[in-house]
Amino acid sequence: MSNDPIPSESRRLLRGPLLLGLTLLSASALFTSAAVRAADHSTAFDTNCSMCHQLGAAGVPGQFPRLAGRAGKIAAAAAGRNYLERVVLFGMIGGITVDGTSIVGGVMPSFASLSDQDLADALNYIVSLDNSGKLRWKGGVFKPADIAGARGGKPLSPSQVHQLRTPAVGTL
């Protein structure tokens, strides 16, 4: 007892800060995931889009295009951003090929009933995903005002949106 390098009294004193440290650590982990969740804009996508495009926008080959890892590349050019805004506002009909597999007879519904904020959130979410659906947040690409601008422009039919696709998407 007497040759114990750490007397029991000091050991008791040490335990306090250690437990406090662990508590703070787990509390900060909780805060971090809550903050990431709030900033990742996934709610609008999860609520309106994931039933077809799947969680993390992984897609279903031959039925619903994978958006993860593709939307960010499409949005790199202005034509691509214009296209993405119009796909969600006006919908799209017409065959497309994604990941080497054709989607025939697929219908992307119009989401004009959603707010500019929700559509900007859904688009910002998909452009921030890497190929495996992990969030690689780069900040907001789409502002609600961009959606409002597209909404106030020339209305397109779903097949007219399809005509915008090849120049905007190419083989992505």
Q: Which residues bind ligand HEC (CB under 6 A)?
A: 48-49, 51-53, 64-65, 67, 71, 84, 87-88, 92-96, 98, 103, 106-109, 111, 122, 126, 162, 165, 169
Q: Which C-beta is closer to ligand HEC: that of 23 or that of 47?
A: 47
Q: Which C-beta is closer to ligand HEC: that of 31 or that of 42?
A: 42
Question: For residue 38, which amino acid is it?
Answer: A
The minimum distance between CB 109 and ligand HEC, in angstroms, equals 5
The minimum distance between CB 91 and ligand HEC, in angstroms, equals 8
Whether 8 and 88 have beta carbons less than 8 Å apart is answered as no
The minimum distance between CB 73 and ligand HEC, in angstroms, equals 10
Taking alpha carbons only, the member of 83, 107, 70, 90 closest to residue 165 is 83
| Residue 27 tokens, joined | 């509390």
**Which residues lie closer than 8 Å to 139 by C-beta, 6 or more apart?**
none
The minimum distance between CB 145 and ligand HEC, in angstroms, equals 18
CB atoms within 10 A of CB 91: 19
Secondary structure element (H or E) that encloses residue 108, with its range: strand 107-108
The minimum distance between CB 44 and ligand HEC, in angstroms, equals 7
Q: Which C-beta is closer to ligand HEC: that of 23 or that of 99?
A: 99
Q: Report the distance separating Cα 114 and Cα 144, nearest Å.
A: 11
Residue showing tokens 């910002």: 124
Q: Which C-beta is closer to ligand HEC: that of 95 or that of 167?
A: 95
Q: Which C-beta is closer to ligand HEC: that of 5 or that of 105?
A: 105
